[in-house]
Chain A
Amino acid sequence: MLLIQCPYCGPRDESEFDYGGEADIVRPKNPEKLSDAEWADYVFFRTNTKGRFKERWVHTHGCGRWFKIVRNTTTHEHGDVTVFGGVEPEAE
């Protein structure tokens, strides 16, 4: 049961978070210029890495913020917490 390091609330039990899947998938700027295959690549296709994997979590039952961590999908070791733009984490 993961103990996830929320950048704003500190370490919290996995049950307080929801999973956001692969990180750094950016919505294309003008979708109408994309081919169907390129659009499908954004909507459906994923890397699904075996090993160190950058993923998104949201602290649903805590501060409600989204953030990213890097987790090894074979050992579940995790760290390297980074936040999205807009709001900086204060020093605890």
Chain B
Amino acid sequence: MDGATYRVLDGCRINKDKPLDFWFNGEKFTGYAGDTLASALLAYGAFPVGRGLKYHRPRGIYTAGSEEPNALIQLETGGRTQPNLRATQVELYGNLIATSVNAWPSINFDLWRVNDWLSPLLPAGFYYKTFMGGGVATGRWWRLFESSIRRAAGFGKAPSAPDPDRYERMNAHCDVLVIGAGPAGLAAAAAAVKMGCRVILADEQAQIGGDLLADDREINGAPALDWVGATLKTLSKAPDVRVLNRTTVAGLYDDNFVIAVESVGDRNGPPAPSQLPRLRMWRIRARQIVLATGAHERPYVFPNNDVPGVLLGHAIRHYAGGYGVVPGRRVLLGTTNDSAYRTARMLSEAGLGVTLADSREAPPPSLVEAVTRVGVTVEVGFAISAVRGSRRVCGAEISRILRDGAVASAPRSMEADLVGVSGGWNPALHLASHRGAKPVWNETQACFVPSNLTALGIHAAGAVTGVGALADCLDQGHAAGRAASKAAGKIRRTRKPVIEGDDVADPVPLQKIWAVDNRQPGGKRGKAFVDLQNDVTTRDIALAAQENYRSVEHLKRYTTLGMGTDQGKTSNVIGLALMGQQTALEPEAMGVTTFRPPYTPIPFGALVGRDQGELFDPVRETPMFDWHVANGAIFENVQLWKRAYAYLKPGETLEQAVKREVLAVRNGVGIMDASTLGKIDLKGPDIVKLLNMVYTNRWDTLKVGSARYGLMCREDGMIFDDGVTARLGKDHYVMTTTSGNAAIVLAWLEEWLQTEWPDMQVFATSITEAYATTTVAGPTARDLMSSLDSDIDWSNDAFPHMTVRTGKVMGVPARVFRVSFSGETSYEINLPARYGMALWEALVVRGAIPFGTEALHVLRAEKGFILVGQETDGTVTPFDVGMGWAVSKKKDFIGKRSYARKDTARQDRKHLVGLLPVNKSTVLPEGGQIVDDADQEAPMAMLGHVTSSYWSPMLNSGFALALLKNGRNRSGDTIHILSLDGNADEARVVDPVFYDKERARMRG
């Protein structure tokens, strides 16, 4: 592009000694350090940078901050691209690449503009009224149009490659969090620091000062920025103060938990230095909060108000004062309040032709005199009634205006290439509403202000309370800082500093104008846009009222008003006020839609921080984990544990490995890492009382050195865990649980002990990780154990099944349990975890074959032992799985009463059965649904499902466990199991124990 001809002043935010080249839509531009992408572009004039969502009319930069509806851009490319950024919030850096979005083929020639000509056919909510043809299978039309609607909508594109940058989280605590570093925020922070508080001051802008950066305000007779500098120095010297600029406070939650996103490595452009995060998510717990978030200017609406070159009046002042940019030569400012006069004076003093149309009958004489003295033409009682032009403003019209905004005279044509409109101020009270508090309407300021939230520890100060004068902001800020410090418990006597601002002596309240309706003959017709991003016009609001979508929420959802990325920051209040005019309701009665976090959009990565990839979730490793990894183990995730599923020898398939491991245990001796099983140490005199209540069977008779299996149910009578509990001493037991339920069972015991039976003397402590557990199982297990240097008598008489012995194994104190899930002679050796690896290696060297969880599941299934979570799913009772024997008739226990209920007591519930496929070589599908008639029409009468199904090397046949309706009484029947390809497998119902029915091997 040719030179930046609109850079006419020296902006206080930019450094002219550091020019920065950047690319926009493929063309090269130059800006300065301190510029935003928006200010740098405006230096070349107000040309189109985006397109409206629906009519795709050209749109220019409209504001100077986070409330920007138009200037959405796609930043950078490839893995680092970011869609939908606001040019007004992108800090300029060297070699920045940005492109416009949502236009095809180009921003200056967009074919989707056809929608603007078809607009009579596209009123608000048109899509609810059409695309409905296509007969019974309706939606055929809709499917056809849906893909084109999706392509037209959507603005930017998602990145195509994973994100190379880092993100961090940081928790922080403070007495007082001040949100917003404008005059009010700085005064509040200074007051809180003087009271001895830990203070965090956060502001979304790169530079500190807020509105004071916009022009030549004065505090205590000196330039305001000197006061800002002095205040910042005192803050930096204080011990516990953190000043966070470039940090957007995005959400405010219960008990003043606040989230804020700081741009760290992002500031001088990608790539961020390798260790630095691109963004840091602050998670702040503040005792008290000062809300000094200021206010957003709002426009009033008139036909054709979306032409590039129409901006908010205050934005023009920020671009002039902050960045030295005025994107026009002839300026027309339309205002309803005093704030535009300072802008008019600044622009006129810079040599631009300025006309100020003030809609009020009697604006403050001092202001009118001050601006006319420097050459501004003031049109009292006039408002902008239209703008001419399509890609650029090339003229406007002003009309005399009545109190309610109705036009009272023929329009007067005005020469203008830059239009500023100032309709009033909306306090940025979003954060105060995040905790559910509804804002209240302030009639004199014609805006919604936060309700009094000091009870929640939130103190509002400055423009967010609706005040405009600088002196008020400074006073309120100081007062809020002190009040917050006191509420945070920091009481210190401090002197109130003298701070005066240069405010208007004779202020006049604003005039409430929402839209200028230009139906005068000769007046320029055209769409008057309320929501510039979602293309919602005044006609759309009238249509919503006409069709009875009259509540403020129906208005929003029917017209999509305020549902864009700016969340209606400049449009919501105008929209609801215009609807109020149609339905004779004041804004107070209309109310607002709910303000929701985040205040402005946050990248997903900032929420995730470093919880990604390898650190996404903890990995729990057993003491023998390194050995499994080094010896061909395939792992499965069991909760957070990594458990060896099977050990593949080189060239072995999974099936072959499992078969080898099963045969090793059945014929020789296998070892398994069982360290993940929950182990709970119980101490105290009342353990038996506890066990009798949580397990279904009785525990009074368990002798020291013995162990017993138990089923644990919830109060609805359904199984939720099982395991063996052994008695080590008079008042010392150890309970084992399934791996997945280790924490759940300990929590279950603690809940009952603490909340229901506090006088029961039992202490429960998790020792799961204190012991490494190795299961040694198989017919030669005893020989292997005997070969170890140990003082334990391994003979069957001295150490029978279901008992526990303690002693030394290879010089280390150990507890050994004779319990068997595989059905073979089996020892579970527990020794201090630090020795787990050494024992495992010693057993491998002595010829034991490691086996994984899959082999264990084949072994236990052959024995008909249930697996909680596979045979049971929270709807299965002990009786259903044939363990009525374990349910005590006499004592009460948790869940017992539920067995007497009608549905739980009925005899034809689903029972555990065994299934043998008629064709021996089939392995029945797990989860297969069982039916009697495989050819019936769907929905079919399904009688149960296959819970576990494997190939048994011992039976040389597939076999399965299943839950079958009335299964106990159907032994010998043939049933069908549906398969996904339409036909079915046949199987015979048999007893669920397939191998060693007499349990001789286990007891051998």
Contacts and interface: CB of A to CB of B under 8 A. Distances in A.
B755 A66 contact: yes
A36 B759 CA distance: 29
Interface bracket on B: 20 to 34
Contact of B751 (A20, A31, A32, A36): A20
Interface of A: 1-3, 13, 18, 20, 26-27, 30-32, 34, 36, 39, 42-43, 56, 58, 60, 64-66, 74-76, 84-87
Given A31-B896, A84-B755, A2 B747 contact: no
B754 A66 contact: yes
B254 A31 contact: no
Contacts of B897: 31-32, 34, 39
Q: Across chains A and B, which 3 residue pairs bring their CB atoms closest together, nearest first?
A: A86-B758, A31-B897, A1-B257
A74 B437 CA distance: 11
A38 to B, nearest CB: 10
Nearest to B903: A36
Contacts of B24: none
Contact of B758 (A1, A13, A36, A84): A84
Contacts of A58: 747, 750-751, 754
B896 to A, nearest CB: 7
Q: Is the interface of A mostly helix, strand, loop or mixed?
A: loop
Contacts of A26: 756
Contacts of B588: none
A34 B896 CA distance: 12
A39 B368 CA distance: 81
B144 to A, nearest CB: 46
Contact of A43 (B716, B747, B902): B716
Contacts of B257: 1, 3, 13
Contacts of B900: 32, 36
B873 interface: no
Nearest to A24: B755
B901 A85 contact: no
A31 B285 contact: no
B255 A1 contact: yes
Given A36-B900, A36-B901, A85-B759, A3 B255 contact: yes
B898 interface: yes
Interface of B: 253-255, 257, 285, 435-436, 715-716, 747, 750-751, 754-756, 758-759, 892, 896-898, 900-902
B751 A66 contact: yes
Contacts of B898: 39, 43
Contacts of B715: 42-43
A74 B438 CA distance: 13
**Centre residue among B754, B756, B892 by max chain A CB count within 10 A:** B754
Contacts of A66: 750-751, 754-755
Given A31-B897, A66-B754, 11 more contacts: A1-B257, A13-B285, A32-B896, A39-B898, A42-B715, A43-B715, A56-B755, A58-B754, A66-B750, A66-B751, A76-B254
Nearest to A42: B715
A76 B897 CA distance: 36
B705 to A, nearest CB: 30
A2 B254 CA distance: 5
Contact of A30 (B435, B892, B901): B892
Contact of B759 (A3, A42, A56, A86): A86
A2 B716 CA distance: 31
24 contacts: A1-B253, A1-B254, A2-B254, A2-B255, A3-B257, A13-B257, A30-B892, A31-B892, A31-B897, A32-B892, A32-B900, A34-B897, A36-B901, A36-B902, A39-B897, A43-B716, A56-B755, A58-B750, A60-B747, A66-B750, A66-B755, A76-B254, A85-B758, A87-B758
Contacts of A34: 897
Contacts of A30: 892
A71 to B, nearest CB: 10
**Centre residue among B254, B756, B759 by max chain A CB count within 10 A:** B254
Nearest to B716: A43
A11 B150 CA distance: 48
A18 B754 contact: no
A39 B898 CA distance: 8
Nearest to A71: B254
Nearest to A65: B754
Contacts of A42: 715
Given A1-B253, A3-B255, A75 B758 contact: no
A75 B759 CA distance: 36
A64 B436 CA distance: 32
A37 B754 CA distance: 27
B692 to A, nearest CB: 14
